């Protein structure tokens, strides 16, 4: 009984840490067409916040944002409630004839405690994945989640689809554990074209 309760407490701790960290995802407006990350060079197609985000230590990746009149905004925040986790976001959000839409990538370096809890523990890792997805989607009134395990190259991950905007829209997310980081790629909106959503998610690739 003690071990069962202890495991439950650990699961709740994981959910809380990740959920708080990813609640900061959907708080800014965005823009542009394409963004690349690099620890050695800044991308000049991305609008920066007042303090230029430090991209060192973030796995380098490529992704294609859809063409838009809006701009991609890069933000970086430290979340004290999540053990001073640093969340870096690349976000494109706006509104068209179908309603609001959102495309984003988020990076979260795992805390020492979370690394320990999820290392070689698939159940704990899946709990953390689910918490990360819910932490962002719940702000859009998400419901009717589906989850499935996925991989990117040899990195474990999880994919989720849920209804948002009172069932009038959808949000599709993929989150991966890449070394000591979580990277989430999500897209959705009200009456959004699923072809655009899938193209965005499928364009995410790690640089070799």
- Tally of domains within the chain: 1
Tokens of 161: 């689809």
Give the Cα-Cα-Cα angle 173, 74, 72 (nearest 5 degrees): 75
| Residue 154 CB burial class (10 angstroms; 0-12, 13-18, ≥19) | exposed
The H or E element spanning position 12 is: helix 2-22
**Domain range spanning residue 164?**
2-192+199-206
The pTM (predicted TM-score) of the whole model is 0.77
Per-residue pLDDT at 81:
66
Tokens of 160: 């989720």
Print pLDDT tens along the chain (208 aa): 222 333 434 444 544 444 444 544 443 333 333 444 443 333 434 443 445 777 888 999 999 999 999 999 999 988 776 667 788 999 999 999 989 999 999 999 888 888 888 888 889 999 999 998 998 888 888 999 999 999 999 999 999 999 998 899 999 999 999 999 999 999 999 999 999 999 999 999 999 7
Asked if 101 and 93 touch (Cβ cutoff 8 Å), the reply is: yes
Beta strand 99-109 with 85-96 is antiparallel
- DSSP-derived 3-state class of residue 139: helix
d(CA 130, CA 135) in angstroms, rounded, equals: 8
d(CA 176, CA 182) in angstroms, rounded, equals: 6
């Amino acid at each position: 009984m003690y071990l069962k309760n202890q495991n439950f407490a650990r699961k709740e701790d994981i959910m809380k840490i990740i959920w708080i960290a990813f609640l900061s995802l959907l708080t800014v407006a965005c823009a542009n067409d394409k963004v690349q990350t690099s620890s050695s060079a800044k991308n000049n197609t991305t609008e920066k916040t007042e303090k230029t985000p430090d991209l060192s230590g973030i796995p380098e990746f490529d992704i294609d944002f859809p063409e838009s009149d809006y701009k991609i905004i890069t933000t970086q925040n430290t979340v004290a409630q999540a053990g001073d986790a640093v969340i870096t976001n690349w976000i494109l959000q706006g509104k068209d004839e179908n309603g609001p839409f959102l495309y984003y990538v988020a990076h979260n370096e795992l805390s020492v405690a979370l690394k320990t809890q999820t290392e070689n523990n698939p159940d704990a890792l899946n709990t953390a994945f689910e918490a990360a997805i819910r932490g962002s989607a719940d702000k859009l009134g998400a419901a009717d989640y589906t989850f499935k395990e996925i991989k990117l190259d040899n990195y474990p991950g999880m994919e989720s689809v849920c209804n948002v905007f009172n069932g009038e829209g959808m949000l599709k997310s993929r989150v991966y554990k890449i070394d000591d980081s979580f990277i989430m790629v999500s897209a959705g909106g009200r009456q959004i074209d699923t072809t655009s959503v899938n193209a965005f998610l499928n364009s995410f690739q790690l640089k070799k």
